[in-house]
């Protein structure tokens, strides 16, 4: 008799129908952002194969006392970016609850590779933990409202939004995500400031 064992991919698909698994959140985020598997893997800074392992993990508990620890454990086990995973989990859970707190805007703003390198170099140099207002990942730059230079500003600081880039030809900014209470105009002003500091000129920002 044949010993049938479903493939990892098949199990991941089945898990989408069960709310206790990460697969359901991945499916929500994919649909919400109109991402294919390769783009989702890019967002999480991993490969497509790792998505199947991630899909079979249990969802993080969303309460403050467990969320960060659960995210770190899942990210470590599946080799994905913990910060991006946390953002995905929050966005998908919020969407699931029917109350969106961020808005996404698809754009098609091209940069040279050297310009992108300069933007990310500046964002890393002015990291929010080093007195700046940015938080750079391999393909995304988060913008914060305040520098973390004092206890008061750290307490008040929150993300304004995120710029999502692609490092493949054509190199470009492909999505701008605005956090609650911030508009695309706010983020385009921030993009202009980032460009001016990094490149000495504005390209797409205001």
Residue-wise pLDDT tens digits, 46-102: 998 888 889 888 888 877 778 889 999 999 999 999 999 998 998 888 777 664 567
The pLDDT value recorded for residue 5 is 38
Is the Cα dihedral 35, 39, 43, 47 positive or negative? positive
More confident residue, 26 or 138: 26
The pLDDT value recorded for residue 200 is 94
Residues spanned by CATH 3.30.310 within the chain?
102-199
The pLDDT value recorded for residue 58 is 85
Phi, psi at 42, each rounded to 5°: -60, -45
The pLDDT value recorded for residue 8 is 46
Length of the chain: 206
* Residue 102, token pair as written in the block: 């961020």
So what CATH class is 102-199?
alpha beta
The pLDDT value recorded for residue 107 is 93
Contacts of 179 (CB under 8 A, 6+ apart): 101, 102, 158, 159, 160, 161
With a pLDDT cut of 90, the percent of the chain lying above it is 38
The pLDDT value recorded for residue 2 is 39
The pLDDT value recorded for residue 112 is 94
pLDDT tens for each residue of 29-50? 888 888 888 999 999 999 988 8
Cα angle for residues 149, 153, 158 (degrees, 5° grid): 115
Bond preceding residue 170 cis, omega within 30 of 0: yes
Phi, psi at 99, each rounded to 5°: -130, 95
């Amino acid at each position: 008799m044949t010993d049938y064992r479903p493939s990892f991919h098949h199990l991941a698909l089945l898990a989408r129908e069960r709310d206790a698994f990460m697969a359901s959140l991945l499916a929500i985020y994919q649909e919400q952002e109109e991402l294919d598997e390769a783009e989702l893997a890019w967002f999480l800074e991993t490969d497509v194969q790792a998505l199947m392992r991630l899909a079979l993990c249990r969802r993080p508990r969303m309460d403050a006392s467990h969320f960060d620890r659960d995210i770190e454990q899942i990210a470590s086990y599946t080799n994905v970016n913990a910060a991006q995973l946390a953002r995905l989990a929050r966005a998908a859970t919020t969407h699931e609850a029917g109350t969106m707190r961020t808005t996404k805007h698809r754009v098609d703003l091209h940069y040279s590779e050297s310009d992108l390198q300069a933007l990310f170099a500046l964002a890393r140099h002015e990291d929010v933990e080093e007195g700046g207002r940015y938080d750079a990942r391999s393909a995304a730059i988060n913008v914060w409202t305040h520098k973390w230079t004092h206890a008061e500003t750290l307490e008040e600081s929150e993300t304004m939004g995120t710029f999502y880039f692609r490092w493949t030809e054509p190199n470009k900014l492909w999505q701008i995500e605005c956090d609650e209470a911030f508009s695309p105009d706010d983020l385009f002003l921030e993009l202009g400031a980032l460009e001016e500091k990094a490149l000495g000129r504005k390209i797409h920002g205001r």
